[in-house]
Amino acid sequence: MQTTRHIKDHAVVIVGGTSGMGLSAAMACLNAGANVLVSGRDDSGIHKAKQALGKNAIVLPADALDSLSTPKLIDECIEAFGRFDALYHVAGGSGRRMGDGALHQITDEGWQATFDINLTSSFYSARAATQSMLKRQTSGSILLMGSVLGLSPSPEYFSTHAYAASKSALVGFVRSCAATYASSGIRFNVIAPSLVQTPMSERVMSDQQILQFVKTKQPLDGGRVGQPQDLDGAVLWLLSDESKFVTGQTIVVDGGWSLSDGQLPAQSQGGQ
């Protein structure tokens, strides 16, 4: 793919771009010649992103659950770069610590919190980007972060049903938005990774049973946990004009997860 020429000089906002998959995407966009503004919520992540991206990107603090934050980021992007072409919403995460789990275990608070961090925050970003593009009468790309768990369950180790529901809901949300705004040149897509090594996956990375399972569940490239860079090619394509005839799609980057049964360790004791 010759993506560079299709995103060069474009202005991209990455919500949740100070660590993991978001930071990797920001670096890929910069290397491809795009202008990049990223946001993050915690000070350590912001500091890390500034060090990694240097003076070539704008890094700002923002809470994705504040409905006013993304409109401000987009305004900052337009003021700094004179344009706004694409938004990538990466912010979100597991609700396990907040009460998510298997259906019979989910608390009311866990359900609501998980939907807020994954679905509501994505809604705020997508709405802000759409409003800006419509106001300025420009086309653009809006990319939201899904998950293979919204499409391909794995109950033994990954039974977090609120998380799966929130990520699955993004698929319907994006398809509906894509149909509505296609005539305006505004494209909506979802990228759905499987297990990727990020701050969110710390629980998994310290569990040898799960890592052994992943070797057979994600069999590509020798069977391994994904790295943030594994998504960069697809992200660049979806954010750039090279995918200008693609909308309403879910692009799965999963190392073979959704096609593989995965072999459970013999000593496995049941779903976690």
132 in a structural domain? yes
119 in a structural domain? yes
180 in a structural domain? yes
pLDDT tens digit sequence for 82-107: 999 999 999 999 999 999 999 999 99
Instruction: Give the residue-averaged pLDDT of 220-235.
Output: 96
266 in a structural domain? no
270 in a structural domain? no
Instruction: Give the residue-averaged pLDDT of 32-49.
Output: 95
Residue 266: predicted pLDDT: 64
Residue 35: predicted pLDDT: 97
Residue 108: domain span: 4-254
Residue in this structure with the two tokens 């590509």, named with its chain if needed: 220
Question: For the domain that residue 85 is a member of, what is the CATH number?
Answer: 3.40.50.720
pTM of the model: 0.94
66 in a structural domain? yes
265 in a structural domain? no
Number of domains in the chain: 1
